Structure 1
């Protein structure tokens, strides 16, 4: 048996060799940076290096908890993330059900392609587009609002509006991907159930309520529970490309706070402490989400 395994491994060495670049990249970008976690417990001075900087224990974490804006930033992160999760569950389900009712395949596939395209664009590109589109002076959105007598709205400069702009634009970018997942779930439903429902006199709404939605329930539960692990990830790329100091009150999140502390203000130890705090909480949430996914939807990683 052992010789058989060895021969099998040797015969498949090209496949193992193909994995080597991926492992090297994973090691460089995911495991080597773990050494930098020690900055959270030091008064790090770049000229002294990791070994020469003074160790201060939990002082950076104590200072972090005393930051006046920390709790506001954590609240902003959770609030924006929860809104994104809710919108990212409800809206794609509705669109998937509506698309499933379209009988002309050319129209159905065309709509799928159009709503899926923004998913492939980076937030650098979309950020520039949205800044132009939502501009209070020259943006097409405010121009359309002016046609019906509404004053221009500074979507990216009003603190009260900005979180909902983030949720709306994130939904526009990514709901096409989730819609395809739900369409796949609908396609796995036994068509005989619909035929039996027609025989019993059920209309389309009854069929959706009693067959389509229950058939989608395992996928809905799975995606909902897995999304718990992303509660502290409100979308750095999106926020960084759209926010400005005037919306820090409601738009500043943990990742942007870490960026400003570490890159702009050179507070490397404090930024690492905040980032480590987020990583630990995120790990706990991800563990909880996978546990719930296993219990509620029988989801397994392997």
Structure 2
């Protein structure tokens, strides 16, 4: 009986493999990429517990335990960077994250197909511009001397504002640039989710006399709430991970105290100036652990709020 049950299980697995072999082959390159570039490098986290020297290698470098982490948390510079990172991440979650949802809902309400396509094309285009170019465009657009924004302010009788060099305005420039560049691309996920909402629900609501706002509130939003939940959990998990390319393109010495992020700090202190690879690895490990805890917490909270919420 046991042998027969085992044979049946093997045949069932073979049948399953034969049925989905195409999907497995499509997924194989992705799996190989993740193994090579994501999982194998995890062995390098031991550098965070050593005084790493490229000449001695990982094995020959002396073990220092938690010394790199103690040095990290005693550094006032790192605590300032951590504060900047948290503030920018909260602004990102509160402003940048909802923007694609609002855009997707707005596009869905546009009944003219040509108008809908034009809006989608215009909002998608900035995603394909590199941050090096996008940062340059923002510096030009908000320039004190020649920027059109300051030209309007001066024409109205105001004084020019150094948006990109002001500690008051810089964070808002980061948020604005993120919205401008990614709002269209981010809306694709939500537009796809909206298409999965049952059309019969809208027809029934129309018969009951519901207007478009009621349909949006009671049908569309609940219909895509699970997708919003998953995307929010993923964003909360990356609360300490901000776009390095964006920071590198937009940051300058005038706003270093309010705009420096953890990634840029690793580049500037851990890699660029003193080649302290151990410190950079310690920062990366700390960031990953915080992200892991945040994902668990956000998933737990989502499951508590809604049965359909959460990733698992």
Asked whether the two chains share a fold, i.e. TM above 0.5, the reply is: yes
CA contact (8 A) 1:194 1:207 kept: yes
Q: Distance in 2 between the 1:185 and 1:32 partners?
A: 34
CA shift, 1:223, in A, is 2.4
Could you report, residue by residue, the CA deviation over 1:191-235 in whole angstroms, capped at 9, with x for unpaired residues?
Answer: 333334333433333333333333333333332233211111122
Q: Distance in 2 between the 1:214 and 1:299 partners?
A: 11
Question: 5+ residue gaps in structure 1?
Answer: none
For 2:86, the equivalent position in structure 1 comes to 78
Residue 209 (structure 2) pairs with residue 201 (structure 1): yes
Q: Equivalent of 2:256, from 239, 248, 259? A: 248
For 1:54, the equivalent position in structure 2 comes to 62
Q: Equivalent of 1:214, from 211, 222, 243? A: 222
Select between 111-120 and 6-15 the one with higher mean Cα deviation. Answer: 6-15
Q: Equivalent of 2:75, from 67, 70, 81? A: 67
For 1:188, the equivalent position in structure 2 comes to 196
CA shift, 1:20, in A, is 5.8
CA shift, 1:239, in A, is 1.0
TM-score (norm 1): 0.86
Q: Distance in 2 between the 1:34 and 1:199 partners?
A: 57
Select between 24-33 and 157-166 the one with higher mean Cα deviation. Answer: 24-33
Q: Equivalent of 1:176, from 184, 209, 212? A: 184
Count residues in correspondence. Answer: 302
Q: Distance in 2 between the 1:72 and 1:58 partners?
A: 21
RMSD across aligned C-alpha pairs, in angstroms? 2.9
Q: Distance in 1 between the 2:257 and 2:232 partners?
A: 28
Q: Equivalent of 1:44, from 41, 49, 52? A: 52
Q: Equivalent of 2:278, from 251, 269, 280? A: 269
CA shift, 1:66, in A, is 0.5
Q: Distance in 1 between the 2:202 and 2:71 partners?
A: 61
Q: Equivalent of 1:112, from 120, 124, 140? A: 120
CA contact (8 A) 2:226 2:309 kept: no
TM-score (norm 2): 0.84
Could you report, residue by residue, the CA deviation over 1:143-190 in whole angstroms, capped at 9, with x for unpaired residues?
Answer: 233332332222221112111111111111111133232233333333
Could you report, residue by residue, the CA deviation over 1:89-110 in whole angstroms, capped at 9, with x for unpaired residues?
Answer: 3323332232222211000111
SS for the counterpart of 1:225 is helix
CA contact (8 A) 1:124 1:241 kept: yes
Question: 5+ residue gaps in structure 2?
Answer: 1-7
For 1:130, the equivalent position in structure 2 comes to 138
CA shift, 1:247, in A, is 0.9
For 1:147, the equivalent position in structure 2 comes to 155
